[in-house]
Structure 1
């Protein structure tokens, strides 16, 4: 097991511990203060019984989101670190740092489907430790396959993105293969990071991340439908979502180096 996994496991044990209420209040309020969390949509810090409960906090009220089929929405509150067109099979983790989409998706994605995303589009969503950590469906679709790829847990902040080659391919990740009603293909790749004790998927409790295993797990679904805005799960700390679309499907808005919220429209009208 890599040292990043060990550190993350120990931090995870601390974060899920429920300390006496007065100590937990100090921990929670300190976290909110130092990271400048905006808690307007959530419970008061002292109402969370552990730091992990604060990390994975749910919205008190659902956000209003665009429900049309014309556009995709951001799956999370995040910062767009990179986006654009794949150059054949290559996409960017950050400017000047390219990697192979086939390596990211793994060979548990069929050769046919790997071919569909060549020259397609991508967008990277970085969730900082102060962000809302739940992730949502970006569009109405069927989940055809879930692939869990164990790996390291390097940080995914800008310093590491600039120095660690193929970071997203080295880190633990969960890949959702999604298909729209008109048979268009896209992927949502959830990338683990340092101090992420787990990535949780509410529709698939059998997935356990950051455990001592090197075995890739692949689950196929016959009829798993998700609706735009549905909560899929959450990171236990900040991390990254990479979205990849097949060729000639989406026109991405120019959002690189901008902050977005869950529900922000990230595409112009779909191409067909």
Structure 2
């Protein structure tokens, strides 16, 4: 039964209609409310339904009982569940995910999916950052609904500001990425520019929200970034992180795009469609 349901939902046309030709923002707000209901029957039925559509593995979760569906989505990991690559020349993956497009930035052009490019300016909206990442490297990390949804510092670093960009809530699965031009540039997102403690390179993390997931929580600012947040768009802060330290989380799951300047290169094993876990090596820093 589960395989039949999955096969039906994964058909490209049906999947696109179900997840995009709906009132996306209304559905997202409804799910934000519904997922926090702490009634045991609602919680248990919701998690059981979720398990019909996804390979939900809670064996590495810190707790085994949850107050609500939301509590399960935003679960923390038990200690030691994600070993870190402590090599100081390595930038680690900030999250669990599946590698999407990745590689060199051609001038200021990045690939969303085959035949669907976008520019750094479209996504970042900051000419100074655009020039900084010209001819650099990037990787797109897609978090599926069943994955661990928290993200962490890729290296010892500090964050001095967060830029929030309001937007839509298109699904960010591969089907939608092949059909909607400049999708990441349309969706709600945050720009988190980290300055590495050693070398002062700037590594930018761009968490991109999606349908049902338009809510980003960061530990170091006292603001929940969501569809009804209207500013200020640039939020000053002073936050220092150790490599692997938790920075924040999505309410459900979405995408994080990581940008690195010229001279910082992707590891050889980081390839499209490969699953990666938080703490594993992602980029090589210059010697």
- TM-score, shorter chain, exceeding 0.5: yes
1:1-272 matches, within 5 Å, as 3-19=23-39, 21-42=40-61, 47-62=65-80, 63-107=82-126, 111-181=127-197, 182-211=199-228, 213=230, 215=231, 217-221=233-237, 223-253=238-268, 254-267=270-283, 269-272=284-287
> How far apart, CA to CA, are the structure 1 residues paired with 2:193 and 2:56?
32
Question: Is the Cα contact below 8 Å between 2:38 and 2:67 reproduced in 1?
Answer: yes
Aligned-pair CA distance for 1:44: 6.3
Aligned-pair CA distance for 1:141: 1.1
Q: Specify whether residues 212 and 141 from structure 1 end up closer, same or farther in structure 2 by C-alpha distance, changes over 3 A only.
A: closer
Q: Following superposition, which runs of at least 4 residues in structure 1 exceed 6 angstroms of deviation?
A: none
> How far apart, CA to CA, are the structure 1 residues paired with 2:46 and 2:266?
43
TM-score in terms of structure 1 length: 0.90
SS in 2 for 1:76: coil
> How far apart, CA to CA, are the structure 2 residues paired with 1:13 and 1:226?
31
Question: Is the Cα contact below 8 Å between 1:196 and 1:238 reproduced in 2?
Answer: yes
Aligned-pair CA distance for 1:144: 2.5
CA offsets, 1:192-229, max 9 Å, x none? 0000141111111224312164x5610233x4211111
SS in 1 for 2:252: coil
TM-score in terms of structure 2 length: 0.86
SS in 2 for 1:11: helix
Gaps of 5+ in 2: 1-21
Aligned-pair CA distance for 1:236: 1.0
Question: Is the Cα contact below 8 Å between 2:133 and 2:261 reproduced in 1?
Answer: yes
Question: Is the Cα contact below 8 Å between 2:94 and 2:153 reproduced in 1?
Answer: yes
Gaps of 5+ in 1: none
Question: Is the Cα contact below 8 Å between 2:169 and 2:214 reproduced in 1?
Answer: no
Size of the aligned set, in residue pairs, is 263
